[in-house]
């Protein structure tokens, strides 16, 4: 019951499931003896053996396809894409098979699999290591997309993802892998999927976010509190399907909404949230919705990375604009 970081909570959840469910296997590049490039599977091969924690050849389409194959035969594979930027060769398997197997066979074959991938910018990583493309998966019918933002949520949501009878993409914002430590009880208790977490109550404005941006958003909320602006902070957590009700409820109360995401803006999860407000909460809105998002550019190499990433400053600027409207 020590305080642990988010990446350790990921390990802990994996370890828990390996121990309690013999159908669970982990597979991916460098997940074995090396324990993953971020140590998310650290010690697991040593503890559970190389038949449970499997280093694969370097071929993502193959990893995804085998994961689908394993899952259809009743295993519960947890595959790792080493970085989200390398998940593209998995697309065909994810979209055409994992997402469709249950529907295609009318329930005869199912895909209880998880694909984990670290993602997002901010750690000075090389090219292709920093992108946020959750929206592409969120657009895909038949899969869940889950993004934790704290050690305890990583633990509880990953347990739920592994146990879920359907495919889950579990995207881990690596910038906050070791940001804060939190007490996580290894009790095997899962957290609910498909639900937002209300991280802070407030009355003046609703800040909606997920993943690493939860950090900046909470900091912004702190700063706003000093300006006597009471911000409600919502962590979407499952970005597909989205728990729109919680968001609508909050906006009904506050009348204002700013959505914060690291991903580029165009056709994104933030777009969906804003669009749904435009459809269903128009009369709640006392001011335009605002999105604080990555620019629609290639994630820059790290010299300009910070200029790409939404900052507390940008959030405050957006909030102040929205608050000015009366």
Ligand X SMILES: Cc1ncc(C[n+]2csc(CCOP(=O)(O)OP(=O)(O)O)c2C)c(N)n1
Residues assigned a catalytic role: 129
- The smaller minimum CB distance to ligand X, of residues 89 and 300, is found at 89
Tokens of 144: 């869940």
- Pick the binder of ligand X from 17, 29, 131, 262 (CB under 6 A): 29
- The smaller minimum CB distance to a copy of itself, of residues 225 and 298, is found at 298
Under the criterion CB under 8 A, does residue 174 sit at the interface with a copy of itself? no
- Pick the binder of a copy of itself from 54, 99, 154, 158 (CB under 8 A): 99
Shortest CB 311 distance to other proteins, Å = 9
Shortest CB 69 distance to other proteins, Å = 2
d(C-alpha 322, C-alpha 326), whole Å: 9
Beta strands in 94-149 (DSSP E): 114-119, 144-146
d(C-alpha 226, C-alpha 253), whole Å: 21
At residue 129, the 3 state secondary structure works out as coil
Shortest CB 215 distance to a copy of itself, Å = 23
Q: What are the Cα distances from residue 242, in Å, to 22, 69, 80, 235, 255?
A: 31, 28, 24, 11, 20
Span of 6-14, 28-36, 186-194, 260-268 interacting with a copy of itself by CB under 8 A: 260-268
Under the criterion CB under 8 A, does residue 144 sit at the interface with a copy of itself? no
Shortest CB 141 distance to a copy of itself, Å = 5
- The smaller minimum CB distance to ligand X, of residues 55 and 219, is found at 55
- The smaller minimum CB distance to ligand X, of residues 74 and 126, is found at 126
At residue 169, the 3 state secondary structure works out as strand
The contact mask relative to ligand X for 42-81 (x = CB under 6 A, - = no) is ----------------x-x---------------------
Span of 14-22, 166-174, 226-234, 276-284 interacting with a copy of itself by CB under 8 A: 276-284
Residues whose CB is less than 8 angstroms from the CB of residue 242 and which lie 6 or more positions away in sequence, other chains included: 138, 196, 236, 269, 272, 273, 276
Residue with tokens 């296997």: 25
Residue 105 binds: one of other proteins, a copy of itself, ligand X, none (C-beta under 5 to 8 A by kind): other proteins
Q: What are the Cα distances from residue 297, in Å, to 48, 59, 213, 294, 305?
A: 43, 28, 18, 8, 11
- The smaller minimum CB distance to a copy of itself, of residues 179 and 295, is found at 295
Helices (H), the chain: 6-20, 44-48, 60-72, 91-93, 101-104, 134-138, 151-163, 213-226, 244-254, 269-280, 302-308, 312-324
Residue 274 binds: one of ligand X, other proteins, a copy of itself, none (C-beta under 5 to 8 A by kind): a copy of itself
Q: How many CA atoms lie within 13 A of 189 on its CB side?
A: 6
d(C-alpha 235, C-alpha 153), whole Å: 10
d(C-alpha 147, C-alpha 192), whole Å: 12
- The smaller minimum CB distance to other proteins, of residues 200 and 295, is found at 295
d(C-alpha 105, C-alpha 103), whole Å: 6
Instruction: Summarize as ranges the residues that interact with a copy of itself (CB under 8 A).
Output: 61, 85, 88-89, 91-92, 95-96, 99-100, 103-104, 127-128, 133, 135-136, 138-139, 141-142, 240-242, 263-264, 266-275, 277-280, 282-283, 285, 287-291, 295-298
């Amino acid at each position: 019951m020590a305080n642990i970081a988010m990446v350790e909570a990921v390990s802990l959840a994996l370890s828990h499931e390996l121990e309690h469910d013999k159908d669970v296997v982990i597979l991916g590049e460098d997940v074995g003896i090396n324990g993953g490039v971020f140590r998310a599977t650290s010690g697991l091969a040593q503890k559970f053996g190389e038949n449970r924690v499997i280093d694969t050849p370097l071929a993502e389409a193959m990893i995804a396809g085998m994961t689908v194959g394993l899952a259809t035969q009743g295993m519960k594979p947890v595959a790792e894409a080493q970085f989200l930027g390398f998940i593209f060769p998995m697309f065909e398997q994810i979209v055409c098979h994992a997402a469709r197997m249950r529907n295609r066979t009318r329930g005869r074959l199912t895909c209880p699999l998880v694909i984990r991938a670290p993602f997002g910018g901010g750690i000075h990583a090389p090219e292709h290591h920093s992108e946020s493309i959750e929206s592409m998966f969120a657009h895909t019918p038949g899969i869940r997309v889950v993004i934790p933002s704290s050690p305890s949520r990583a633990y509880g949501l990953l347990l739920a993802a592994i146990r879920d009878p359907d495919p889950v993409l579990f995207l881990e914002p690596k910038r906050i892998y070791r940001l804060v430590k939190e007490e996580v009880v290894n009790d095997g208790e899962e957290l609910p999927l498909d639900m937002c977490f209300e991280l802070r109550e407030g009355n003046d404005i609703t800040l909606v976010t997920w993943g690493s941006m939860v950090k900046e958003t909470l900091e912004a909320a702190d700063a706003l509190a000093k300006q006597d602006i009471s911000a409600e902070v919502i962590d979407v957590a499952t970005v597909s399907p989205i728990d729109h009700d919680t968001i609508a409820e909050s906006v009904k109360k506050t009348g204002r909404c700013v959505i914060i995401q690291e991903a580029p803006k165009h056709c994104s999860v933030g777009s969906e949230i804003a669009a749904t407000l435009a459809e269903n909460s128009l009369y709640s809105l006392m001011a335009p919705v605002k999105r604080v998002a990555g620019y629609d550019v290639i994630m820059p190499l790290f010299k300009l990375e910070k200029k790409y990433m939404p900052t507390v400053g940008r959030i405050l600027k957006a909030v102040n604009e929205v608050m000015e409207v009366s």
